Amino acid sequence: KQKTVMTKLYFILIFLILGLSSCSEDEIDTYDSFNYLSFVTNDTIEVSFLMLGKDEYDCPIEVRHTGLPSYAEYKDFKVKVVEENTTMSRSNFTIPPTFTFQPMSMLDTFYVKLTNYNSLETKSEYICLELEANENFLLGDRDYRRLYLKVDNQVSRPDWWTTSGSVNVTKYFLGTYSDEKYRLLIQVVQPDFSDTSVASIRLWALTFKEWLEKNPQKEADGSTMTVPIKL
C-alpha cells in the first residue's frame, strides 16, 4: 500500500511539473507574440523657454517597446494630439504624422518641435499626446499611453535668490529681485541651475556684475540695475 501511495504521489508530481511548464510556455508565447508601446513617463514634462534661452526647442520624449524587438526592421508608430486637452495653437508646435522605432531597441526617442511666443510669458500652455495602436504595435500600460507637455516662458523669483545655506543672496550677491534682472542674468550668465550652491551663485553674481558695469541696464521703474557683490 505504501508503494501504491508513493507511485500516485510520483505521478501527481509529474503532472504538476508538466502543468507549470505548459503555463510558463504559454506566458512566453504570449509575451513574444505581441509588441507593445508606452511612454517611459506619465509625469507632465515641463518646458521653460526662459531656462532654455532659445526660441525653438526640439523636446525629446522617450517611448518604451515591450515584446520581441525587430532585428532589422524599422517599425513605424503613431502619436496623436488630443485636441480637447491641448491649449497650445498648432501653429506653435510640430509633430510628424509618424515616427520610426529603431531595430534591436527597447527604448527610443521622438521629438516635438516647440516655438516660443509672447503670451507664454504670462501663462502656461499644454499639449496632450497619446499613442495610437497600429499594425506594428499594440498599446502598453494604460497609465502610460497619454502624456502632457507644459510650456511657458514665465519668470518668478527662485528660492535660492533669498538665501543659499546661511548666506543672504539678496544682501550680499544679487540685490533686490526683479523679473527683468532675473531674465537678464539667465541671458548673460547662462547659469546651470542644477547647482545652486553658494559658490555657484557667487560666481554668477560676479560675472553679472562685471557685465553690468560694461553694459548699464534699467529696471522697469527706470532705476539703474545694480548687483551688490564686490569685484
DSSP letters of 11-80? HHHHHHHHHHHHHHHHHHHHHHH--EEEES--SPEEEEHHHHTSSEEEEEEEEEEES---SSPPEEEEEE
DSSP character for 173? I
Residue 36: beta bridge partners? 66, 138
Contact 108/79 with Cβ under 8 angstroms? Answer: no
Q: What is the pLDDT of residue 17?
A: 54
Q: What is the pLDDT of residue 29?
A: 39
Q: What is the pLDDT of residue 13?
A: 56
pLDDT tens digits, 116-154: 999 999 999 999 999 999 999 999 999 999 999 999 998
Q: In what order do the strands lie in the sheet with 99-101?
A: 45-48, 146-152, 125-132, 75-81, 99-101
Q: What is the pLDDT of residue 50?
A: 87
* pTM exceeding 0.75: no
The confidence band for 10, taking pLDDT boundaries of 50, 70 and 90, is low
pLDDT tens digits, 44-101: 999 999 888 789 999 999 999 988 777 778 889 999 999 999 999 999 999 988 899 9
Q: Identify the residue whose cell numbers are 560694461.
A: 214
Cα–Cα–Cα angle for 70, 71, 75, rounded to 5 degrees: 40
